[in-house]
Structure 1
Amino acid sequence: MTRGTVHLAVYDTYADWETGHTTAHLTQNGFTVKTVGLTTHPVTTMGGVRIQPDLALTDLDPADSQLLILTGAALWDTGDVLSPFATKARSFLDAGVPVAAICGATAGLAREGLLDDRAHTSAVPFYLAATGYKGSDHYVDTDAVTDGDLITAGPTEPVAFAREVFARLGVYEGEKLDAWYRLFHDSDPAAFEVLNA
């Protein structure tokens, strides 16, 4: 039984290590993960992996998704080529569909004005300040932040990022969510028994 579809944005220089925990455990818990690119032409991740997107961004409708995931990429900071993904994130949030952004994708959301009125985090405050955004008062210096339908995390926190996604989508809750985080973030062997009880 599927719990719905999650869309993972993919683009050249996509930081492929940032969403491995998230997509693997979503898939193991009944979600379908589909990749979305600017087009359906193949892209190459920062790790050199070639990915053929399942659909083009223009064909992505928030009504068909449970979540949009945006990862870091060198391209977020070298021009506007990825700005259509931030615009799509706005349409998701306007429709009440969650968006999860990590690393450089947070700067894309900042440029789009999506962090001006929401609690958020990123790599460091001055990284987002360089975008000229107006949300610095809402910056939280922590691993990952959820504010309603928006999840943000810094580049060194893929496990905390996954935890916030799982909490928002109800994949794991309470003790199991805590145990998942302790197992994958802290290597706590006692958490394995709780997670698999």
Structure 2
Amino acid sequence: MTRIAIALTPHFADWECALLMAVARSYLGVEIVTASPDGRTVTSMGGLRVTPDLAHAALDPQAFDALVIPGGLAWEKGEAPDFTSLAADFKTAGKVVAGICAAASALAAAGVLNNVAHTGNSLASHKQQAGYRGEALYRDQPQAVSHAGVITAPGNSPVTFTTEILRALGLWGPEAEAELAVFSREHS
């Protein structure tokens, strides 16, 4: 069974991971495991209180197929954990690593975007990260970018973010396509 680790932060953007979690779990039989920095409850930007399954430190890349990090206000508030080792460990293990919104810049900070095509909220936000050297590979577009198992998206793109993660995990097929078509119909 495919397993996806969702690494939440305080004030995470609940809509950025909700579609992926719902489609993957409810329609495709994927096991979704949530984690917070210390394993304690976190509250999303929308006020959704999530009691995670475990702490970030307990996320073993060998036990998962993907690490997904939604964005949110933790970065703006100075409360975001450092994802450098977690993201690097998943990437080194050949697992899918995905970040949307501010979390795409967290992947930039971790150096994960230096050798893959990617996007995010803006190139300027990535360039503020000391570990970022991937400017030539940045794609300024409103849809997710997937390259070599790394998926990034600006915060306005949860549909293409979900689609690219499912594709990278080999889960894209008629059922996934049908479900995403329903949820993204207003954007057609």
Q: Within the alignment, does 1:90 sit opposite 2:85 as a pair?
A: no
User: 3-state SS of the aligned residue for 1:76?
Assistant: coil
Please point out which of 4, 19, 22 is paired with 1:21. 19
Q: Is the 8 A contact 2:70 2:103 kept in 1?
A: yes
Displacement after TM superposition at 1:53 (Å): 1.2
Q: Deviations over 1:81-112 (max 9, x none)?
A: 411x3320110000001111100001111111
Residue 154 of structure 1 deviates from its aligned partner by: 0.5
Question: What is the aligned partner in structure 1 of residue 133 from structure 2?
Answer: 134
1:144 corresponds in structure 2 to 144
Residues 168 and 130 (structure 1), Cα distance of their counterparts in 2 relative to 1, 3 Å cut: same
Corresponding letter in the other structure for 2:158 = P
Aligned to 2:159: 159
CA distance in 2: counterparts of 1:188 and 1:40, whole angstroms: 36
Separation (CA, whole Å) in 2 of partners of 1:27 and 1:177: 11
Measure how far apart 1:187 and its partner are: 3.9
Residues paired across the two proteins, number: 185
Q: Deviations over 1:31-63 (max 9, x none)?
A: 110111111211111111111110111111100
- How far off is 1:172 after superposition? 2.0
Structure 1 residues without counterparts, runs of 5 or longer: 190-197
AA at the equivalent of 2:163: R
The CA deviation at 1:124 is 2.0
For the aligned residue pairs, the C-alpha RMSD in angstroms reads 2.0
Aligned to 2:40: 41
Contact 2:87 2:110 (C-alpha < 8 Å) held by counterparts: no
The corresponding residue for 1:112 is: 110
Q: Which residue of 2 aligns with 1:5?
A: 3
Aligned residues of 2:9 and 2:80 also touching (Cα < 8 A): no
Q: What is the rounded CA distance, in whole Å, between the counterparts of 2:114 and 2:187 in structure 1?
A: 37
Larger Rg: 1
Q: Check 1:40–1:146 CA distance in 2 against 1; reply closer, same or farther (3 A cut).
A: same
Q: Secondary structure at the match of 1:107?
A: helix
Q: Name the SS for the 1:23 alignment partner.
A: helix
Superposed displacement of residue 188, structure 1:
8.4
- Residue 66, structure 1, aligned to residue 65, structure 2: yes
TM-score, structure 1 normalization: 0.86
- By how many angstroms is 1:180 displaced? 4.6
Q: Is the 8 A contact 1:144 1:152 kept in 2?
A: yes
Pick closer, same or farther for the CA change 1:104–1:53 going to 2, 3 Å.
Answer: same
Query: What are the ranges of 5 or more consecutive residues in structure 2 without an aligned counterpart?
Result: none
TM-score by length of 2: 0.89
Report the Cα distance in structure 1 between the residues aligned to 2:33 and 2:176, rounded to whole angstroms: 24
Shift of residue 21, structure 1, vs aligned partner: 1.0
Q: Once the 2 structures are TM-superposed, how far is the Cα of residue 130 of structure 1 from its aligned partner?
A: 2.5
